Amino acid sequence: MRIVGKAALWFSLRTRRGGTENSQGRARMIKLPKLILASASPRRAEILRTVGWPFEILVVDVDETRRGDEEAVTYVERVAEKKAQAAAAQFPGTAMIVAADTVVVIDAEILGKPRDDEDARGMLRKLSGQWHQVLTGVAFIDGGSAEVRVAYEKTEVKFAVMSQDEIDWYVSSGEPRDKAGAYAIQGLGARFIEGIRGDYFNVVGLPVRLLYELVTKSGAVARP
C-alpha cells in the first residue's frame, strides 16, 4: 500500500501544567525506531545524529535521471521512493527505510548537483540576489507492513548578491561540487544567505519534522 502524505531515540515530554507525566510523576517516554538511511549523503547522516535518531547507512545506486518535463515535486518524490525501494529489496522483513532527494528550483528551473565547476558558477550566478525554493522528497517504508509513505517539504531561501570574485572563491573551495544548487547552507555558503522561510533541515537535505510525521503516521513510534 502506498500512502502519500506529509520521525529511535528516547526523549522526554514534560509539561508544567496538567501535562504528560504519569501518576508516578515520571515523564512519559517515546521510542523512535532505528532507521536504515538509504543515502550516501554525510549531511543527512549528520542531521540524524544531531537529533539523536539511531540509524545505519545503506548506500544504493539508482537512476536519478529526470523524465522529460517532470515537475520538481514529482521528481523528488519519485527518486526518493526509488531509493527507498532499492534499499528495502536488500533488507527484507521488518526494516524501516528512509530515503530522500533534494533539488533547488528557481524560475521553474531545477538545479541538481553541478556537473563541474563551470556549471556551479552558472548556478550561483542564477541564485545571486534571488529567492529560490529547496524541495526534498522523503520516502519511508515500514518493512513490517510493507506500507510506503512519500511526501515532500519546501523551503524558500534568499541569496545575497554575489560578486564574480565571491563566486570564483566559493567554487574554488570545492564545497559546491556535490550540493544541489551548488551551495551548502550549513557550510561556507552560509555567508551568502540573506533569508530563509521554512525548514532549515530541509535545505541541508532531510526535513526532520516531515520524517517524524511519516514515521508516526505509520504507527512505528512506540508510545507508553
101 is catalytic: yes
Q: How many Å apart are CA 7 and CA 220, to the nearest integer?
A: 9
Instruction: Give me the amino acid identity at 162.
Output: M
Ranges of H-type helices in 59-196: 72-90, 117-127, 164-172
Task: Name every residue whose Cβ is closer than 8 Å to that of residue 149 and which is 6 or more positions away in sequence.
Answer: 2, 3, 4, 5, 139, 140, 141, 142, 214, 217, 218
Selecting among 101, 116, 119, 199, the annotated active-site residue is 101
Tell me if 31 sits within 8 A of 219, measured CB to CB: no
Residues taking part in catalysis: 101
